[in-house]
Amino acid sequence: MSQASPPLAGAAGRGWSRPVVIGIVLLVTALVIGAPVAAVFVQALSQGVGYALDSLAQPDTRAAIWLSITVAIVVVPINTVFGIAAAWAIAKFRFPGRKLLLAIVELPFSVSPIVAGISYLFVYGGQGLFGPFLEAHDLKIMFALPGIILATTFVTAPFVARELIPLMQLQGNGDEEVAATLGAHGWQTFFRVTLPNIRWGLLYGVVLCNARVLGEFGAVSIVSGNIRGETNTLPLHVELLYHDYNAAGAFAAALVLTLVALLTLFVKTILERVTGSAGALHGS
């Protein structure tokens, strides 16, 4: 709504306070948010654009980029399906344990990624709950792609659901009830009625989920075996290069992630303009 509705001329908006408040906020934002982003650009390009591109073309860095993309390709659809299902169940129905379920779905948001990584290690690690079973069947989860996927799935679980639940609650069940009364079956109702209603919110959740998937660090750092060119995601690779005496290379990799983040914000802004609703991102 900050996009759509014109700002209100409130009481505090008069006189000298207005430019001062705006000025201070802009200055602090430049220092706190702008400067780190600028630093990434400056450091990444400190040895020239050619050097940055060269370091991105290194086999290990390319492998890290591909690994991160692979993880996103698997995790984002899983969490999208889950997000829709969870929102559908929680927003459209009342049932015992609903609030508890909501709390569980939201839990990965407030719990530290480190806790997530440790927990997964206890389940799938060699000494863990399923360790002996996995070893007997020669299945690898920890320190391989499945472990990275699982940990990332946990950390980004609530993104889509949290976007959709308030939206579906706001829209109510009227449209679906009408559709059902007119004889539409379940999937028809979903694809023809509900999906068009929630598509922008859904896309918004997917975009945020994707950004977070690509950027996950803490949980993945526990379940990845740090194998160069194999189980290093791009954020882990930033750390690795950073400690490889290759600060410029590390920042070049960080720049890729920063550009993805900026692109995410751009897409998000476009989506907000389309829907005309402000990003009550995690609030409401």
Partner 1 sequence: MRRLPVVTAAVLLALGGLPAFADAPSTILNASYDVSRELFVAVDQAYAAKYLKDTGKTLEIKQSHAGSSKQARSILEGLDADVVTFNQATDVQVLADKGFVASDWTSKFPHGASPYYSLPVFLVRAGNPKGIKDWNDLVRDDVKLVFPNPKTSGNARYTYLAATAYAKEAFGNDEAKVNDFVKKFLANVVVFDTGGRAATTTFVEREIGDVLITFETETTGIRKEFGTDKFDAVVPSVSLLADFPVAIVDKVAEKRGSTEIAKDYLNFLYSPEGQTILAEHGNRVRDEAVSARFADSFKPVRLVTVEAVFGGWPAANKTYFGSDGLLDQQLAGQ
Partner 2 sequence: MGMGGAGALPRRRLSTAGGKGQGRVVPGFRLSLGITLFYAAIIICLPLATLILVGARLGPADYWAVVSSPRALASYRVTLGAAALATMFNTVYGFALAWVLVRYEFPGRRVLDAIVDLPFALPTAVAGVALTAIFAKNGWFGEPLGALGIKVAYTPIGIALAMAFTSLPFIVRTLQPVMEELDGEIEEAARTLGAGTVTIFFRVVLPILVPALLAGVSLAFARCLGEFGAVIFIAGNQPYSTEITALLAFIRIEEYDYPAAAAIATVMLGTAFVLLVVTNAVQALARRHELAP
The whole-angstrom separation of Cα 154 and Cα 106 is 11
Looking at the Cβ atoms of 135 and 177, the one nearer to partner 1 is 135
17 vs 188, which CB is nearer to partner 1? 188
- Residue 71: CB minimum distance to partner 1, A: 11
CA–CA dist 266, 274 (Å, integer): 12
Contact region for partner 2 (CB under 8 A) — 6-14, 50-58, 59-67, 137-145?
Answer: 6-14
> Of 147-176, which residues contact partner 1 (CB under 8 A)?
149-150
Nearer to partner 1, 20 or 81 (CB): 81
> Out of partner 1, partner 2, none, which partner does residue 245 contact, by CB within 5 to 8 A per kind?
partner 1
27 contact, one of partner 2, partner 1, none, CB 5-8 Å limit per kind: none
What is the Cα–Cα distance from 43 to 254, expressed in whole angstroms?
10
Is residue 139 at the binding interface for partner 1, with CB under 8 A as the rule?
yes
Q: Who contacts 4 (Cβ-Cβ below 8 Å, separation ≥6)?
A: 276, 277, 278
143 binds partner 1 (CB under 8 A): yes
Indicate whether 226 belongs to the interface with partner 1 (CB under 8 A).
yes
List the interface residues with partner 2, window 206-265 (CB under 8 A). 208, 211-212, 214-218, 221-222, 234-236, 238-239, 242, 250-251, 254, 257-258, 260-262, 264-265
**16 lines the binding site for partner 2 (CB under 8 A):** no
Segment 34 to 73, residues that bind partner 2, using CB under 8 A: 34-37, 39-40, 43
**In this chain, which stretch among 88-96, 128-136, 165-173, 266-274 interacts with partner 1, using CB under 8 A?**
128-136
> What is the C-alpha separation between 222 and 118, in angstroms, rounded?
7
Give the CA distances from residue 198 to residues 142, 192, 195, 272, in Å, rounded to whole numbers and listed in that order. Answer: 36, 11, 5, 13
Closest CA to 69 of 260, 258, 251: 260
Q: Say how many residues touch partner 1, by CB under 8 A.
A: 33
Under rule CB under 8 A, residue 115 binds partner 1: no
202, burial (CB in 10 Å: exposed 0-12, middle 13-18, buried 19+): buried
First CA to last CA distance, the chain: 14
Nearest CA among 270, 98, 152, 156 for reference residue 279: 270
Which does residue 56 touch among partner 2, partner 1, none (CB within 5 to 8 A, set by kind)? none
Residue 123 binds to partner 1 (criterion: CB under 8 A): no
88 close to 161: Cβ distance less than 8 angstroms: no
CA 212 to chain centre: 3
Residues numbered 66 to 105 that lie near partner 1 (CB under 8 A) are 74, 78, 81
162 sits near partner 2 (criterion: CB under 8 A): no
Binding to partner 2 in span 79-108, by CB under 8 A: 81-82, 84-86, 88-90, 92-108
Around Cβ 190, how many Cβ atoms within 10 Å? 16
**In the numeric block, which tokens belong to residue 263?**
């692109």
CB 135 within 8 A of CB 142: no
What is the 8-class DSSP label of residue 11?
Answer: G
What mask of x and - would describe binding to partner 1 in positions 195 to 214, judged by CB under 8 A? --------------------
